Amino acid sequence: MSKTINLDEDALRNQIKIKYREVALQPDSNFHFHTGRFLASKLGYDDYGVDQLPDAAVESFAGVANPFSQRDLEQGERIIDAGSGAGFDAFVAASLVGGSGQVIGIDMTDEMLDKSRLSASQIGLTNVEFRKGLLEQMPVEDNWADAVISNGVINLCNDKLSVFREILRVLKPGGFFQFADIANSKPVPSAALNNIDLWTA
């Protein structure tokens, strides 16, 4: 039997922004999750040129696994990074698709967007851009992407059905969805489902 989630979506998003603003601005703080180069290495990113990225492009990485391990991106592909944060996965994707490819990162946190755009400029990447938006309403045209990647973000969205509908909308027919996330197979009490603090704990 499904449980009703009665969350204030704006309040939830505000809490998430507060948490990830701190990850962007103070990446060396103590979080309940790992970040940065240590995490990237632990998740198997060593073969993706991470050591060549500047610290600012890596230090706020807070993914949960490696979506690139599911399929090799190809030269010339168009990629959306859904929940791009400070841009780490988008930068990896940009290097894999090459100059003939294109990457769009989407995030709702201003500090993450500022950091990702600055890093892209410093690295000299011209095939990646970052757009402000929600995963429930992606600022990308229909059937644009060869692949959508996402890393540890969809679990933070209240309306996951809308997120998956958007992913289907922006993907080309036959496109790929390569994601890593947190899932729970055990029943969760309604009180916990509706506790915003637990969503961002």
Residue with tokens 């990162």: 105
Q: How far is CA 198 from the centre of its chain?
A: 20
Q: What is the pLDDT of residues 50-59, one digit of tens each?
A: 999 999 999 9
CB 158 within 8 A of CB 40: no
The predicted structure's pLDDT at residue 1? 39
Sheet of strand 102-107, all strands in order from the earlier edge strand to the far edge: 128-132, 102-107, 78-82, 145-151, 171-180
- What does the CA dihedral 176, 72, 27, 156 come to, rounded to 10 degrees? 20
The predicted structure's pLDDT at residue 200? 67
Residue type, 100: S
CATH of domain 9-199: 3.40.50.150
Q: Which stretch of DSSP H or E encloses residue 177?
A: strand 171-180
3: confidence class by pLDDT, cuts 50, 70, 90: low
Strands 78-82 and 171-180, how do they pair? unpaired
Burial 15-48 (b: 16+ CB within 10 A, else e): bbbebbeebbeebeeeeeeebbbebbeebebeeb
How far is 7 from 29, CA to CA, in rounded Å?
28
Q: What is the pLDDT of residues 120-148, one digit of tens each?
A: 999 999 999 999 999 999 999 999 999 99
Listed by start position, the domains of the chain span 9-199
The predicted structure's pLDDT at residue 5? 66
What average pLDDT score do residues 55-70 get? 96
- The percent of residues in the chain predicted with pLDDT above 70, rounded, is 95
